Each structure stands twice: as structure tokens, then as C-alpha cells.
Amino acid sequence: MPHVLRHLLHELQLALLKVVIRLLPGARPPMVFAGAGSAVQMCHTLADIGTRRLLVVTDAVLVRLGVVAPLLEALRARGIDCAVYDGVEPDPTHAQVEAGIALARQSGSEAVLAVGGGSPMDAAKIIAACMTNNVAPAALVGNFKVKKDPLPLYAIPTTAGTGAEVTVAAVITDTVAQAKLAVVDGKLVPRMAALDGSLMLGLPPAVTAASGMDALTHAVESFVSRFADEKTQPLSLAATQMVFTHLPRACAAGDDLAARQAMALAATYAGMAFSRASVGYVHAIAHNLGGLYHTPHGLANAIVLPHILDFYAQAAAAQLAELARAIGAADAATAESQAATAFMARVRELARTVGIPERLASLREADIPELARRAMAEAQGFYPVPRFMSHAQCEAILRKLLP
């Protein structure tokens, strides 16, 4: 299809999607517990509301590090029977999710608690939805396909990045197609979330950096989105300010509780913003780098973000200038184009400071046409980007990431 026709189709689909979103009821926001000790507090609350059989979805690393044990102790002390599924790995697959569903059925679980980063939370969301809808995970891939409310779902994030504890989306990996696929529905938002910075103390700097840049990507893409509004913009701005202030501290001093707690809040604010305003080409490309090379999502976002901001520079100059003023990179007297350029420079500076590489070591020239095709197919009609991208432009950006 010629570029002009693809652009027109994109505009028509976006207009239709905007109408659909306005007609649908908004996602119910979760009850949020915040601060050191809030995870145990939420566990006690689950008992208070009558939870008796709970599936805890996590990963083996967190179990081995002892992060999950105090939570299980708090739950079991209050009479909650816990089945633990720790088979989730980065980029959870259909097989991993189906194993979680099988354990939920076997244990008679009536609710699901996700403990971990984005992968356990994604898996938990899909498990909870499959249980009540009595379908395989593949049946939920796409938009608004969760017909019945999932099992009651709760989240305790252990990284500050994805914001999955408050978002409408979950991602599952198709190992055959080597693709990451999204399940998007307002019913996937957890009922409660605990933002407990004490669970994030001691995270390795590389994990902290990639997670934090993931949160920044959510904040920036939602702010420049054509669906951004008076509800999302303050959240995006606050998240951006908090990442620039606290991410370097969290990376440099892993035991800085104040920085960890601030980053947890930043990730949640950014998650709330992009759940309504959506994301853009950074995610379209990053998802497909993850699907083909298993590149961690936060790292892929961090590497791609500066190049997409360059692409958006003129179309989103006003928004980028506002972000620059919010982080102190420009003031009211600074010309819009100069302020936008200053913000983009600060993004690159932050990435360098926290150790994000400029290029992707696993990227191969031969894969670029297919990666671009997949990224454009993902973005087509669903991402309200400020500037439309052609296949050739996407290939050119990908080549800038070659090692």
C-alpha cells in the first residue's frame, strides 16, 4: 500500500478509536498503598476483604532472593491459602501463562496476586482473565476481548518501570512467530497495588536504569500523544520530573529508599497516563526487538527513545518544550525549538549517566526490513503519534541502532 494511503488509513482508524474510547467506560483506578511496608499492609487488607485462596504469580529469582517469603508469611498468617506460581520468565510465553492457569484451577484460587516486574504482572493479568472467560491466552490478544471481569487481581511491583500495576495492558510472547502480542482491556487494571520502595532496594544498577527509562518513555510518549488530555498531561509531567530527579540517585545508590519510592510513584503516574493516552513508535519498535532478540523491554525503549524524539522534533515541538521547562532545561523565554532540542539532549544525557548503551548489540542488518514491517503493523491505527512514519523511515532509525 502506498505511503499516502497508509497515512490516510491510520488517520481514519485513529478517529474511530478515539470515538470508541470515549464511548467505553473508563478503567476503574486501583486502590493504591504506598511507602515502605505497604506491600505487607496490602496483604493484610486482602484478608480483611475475605480473600481465602490466592494464586501468587512471581518468578524464581524473587523467590530465591527471599522477596516473596515475607509476603507469603503475612498472607498465610491471616488465613489465606497461597499457591505460588514462580515459572514466569522475562517475556512470558503462552506455555508459561497456561501453566499458571492450570495451577490456579488445581488450587481453586479465587484471586491472583502479582509480585514482580512487568513479566509476572503481565502473566498474572492474563491468567486472571483466562480463568473467568474460560479461554486460552491467544483468544484475548487484541483490544477489548476480555468479556468477563477477571478474577480479583492485585499487584506488588518490585521494579519501577512498567507501571503495569495500574495499566490496561498485558504482553505475551508468541515463541513460534517470535512476536510480543498485547492484550488490552480496561478490565485488566488490578484492584489494588502496593508501591513499596523497600522491595526495590539493592536492585542492580542496570535493571534500575532500564526500568527507569521505561517509565520515562511511558511519560514522554503519553505526553506527546494526540490522545493526551487534561487528565493525562499532569501525570506525564510529574513522572518525567521525578525520573530526571531520582533515577540517577537510584542507580548510584541502590539503598536510597527515598529515590526508590519516588521512582515507584513515577512509574505508576506514567502508567496511568499511557493507559489513557497510549504510546507510540518507541514501543512499536521496542516490542519487536524484544520479540525477535529477547531484548529487555525497558532497555529497548531506552535505546530507541532518543531517535524517535528526533523524528518527532518538529511535530511535537510544543510538547517537548514544555517537558524541557518542567525539568529545568529551558525557561519561559527559551524559543520553542531550542527548548525541544534541549529536552532531547537531556534525555540522551540521562541515558548516558545511567549506563544505557547507544546501540543494540544483537541487532542484525538482515532483520531490519522485517522489524520495520512488524513495527509499522503494530503502530498502524492504534498509536496516536504526533507524526506518521513510513516503512523506509523506520528502517533508517533501526540502522542507527546497529552495533
pLDDT score recorded for residue 239? 98
* Cα radius of gyration (the chain): 20
337 and 372 fall within a common domain: yes
Domain end: 157, 179, 200, which one?
Answer: 200
Q: Which of the listed residues 161, 182, 200 is the one where a domain comes to its end?
A: 200
Confidence of residue 21 (pLDDT cuts 50, 70, 90): low
How would you list the strands of the sheet with 179-184, edge to edge? 142-143, 179-184, 169-174
3-class DSSP state of 398: helix
Mean pLDDT of the chain: 95
| 3-state DSSP percent of the chain in helix, strand and coil, to 5 | 60, 10, 30
The 10s digit of each residue's pLDDT in 180-204 is 999 999 999 999 999 999 999 989 9
Q: Are residues 252 and 373 in the same domain?
A: yes
| CATH for 371 | 1.20.1090.10
Give the DSSP H/E element, type plus range, for residue 246.
Answer: helix 233-252
356 and 215 both lie in a single domain: yes
| 302 shares its domain with 244 | yes
Nearest to 213 by CA among 14, 346, 92, 324: 346
Residue 3 belongs to some domain of the structure: no
**β-bridge partners, 34:** 195
Query: What does the pLDDT read at residue 353?
Result: 98
b vs e for 290-322, b when ≥16 Cβ sit within 10 Å of the residue's Cβ? bbbbebbbbbbbbbbbbbbbebbbeebbebbbb
Alpha-carbon distance of 33 to 193, in angstroms, equals 6
**Residue 17: what pLDDT?**
66
CB neighbour list of residue 379: distance below 8 Å, 6 or more residues apart? 280, 281, 284, 385, 389
Tell me, yes or no, whether 193 and 233 share the same domain: no
Give yes or no for residue 318 having a pLDDT over 70: yes
Cα separation, 42 vs 113, in Å, equals: 11
Quick check: 5 pLDDT over 90? no
The CA distance from 144 to 260, in Å, is: 34
Q: Is there a single domain that holds both residue 144 and residue 241?
A: no
Q: Are residues 242 and 384 part of one domain?
A: yes
193 shares its domain with 215: no
CATH number where 107 lies: 3.40.50.1970
Residues 266, 315, single domain; the answer is yes
Position 150 in a domain: yes
Among 140, 91, 116, 138, residue whose Cα is nearest residue 297: 91
The answer on 141 and 265 residing in a single domain is no
Q: What is the pLDDT of residue 1?
A: 60
State how many domains the chain has. Answer: 2
Bridge partner residues of 54 (DSSP): 82, 111
Domain edge (last residue) among 173, 200, 227: 200
Give the structural domain span for 86.
26-200
How far is 210 from 159, CA to CA, in rounded Å?
Answer: 10
Q: Are residues 125 and 247 in the same domain?
A: no
Digit-coded pLDDT (tens) for 353-389: 999 999 999 999 999 999 999 999 999 868 999 999 9
264 and 34 Cβ atoms separated by less than 8 Å: yes
Find the mean pLDDT for residues 235-239. 98
Per-residue pLDDT tens for 34-69? 999 999 999 999 999 999 999 999 999 999 999 999
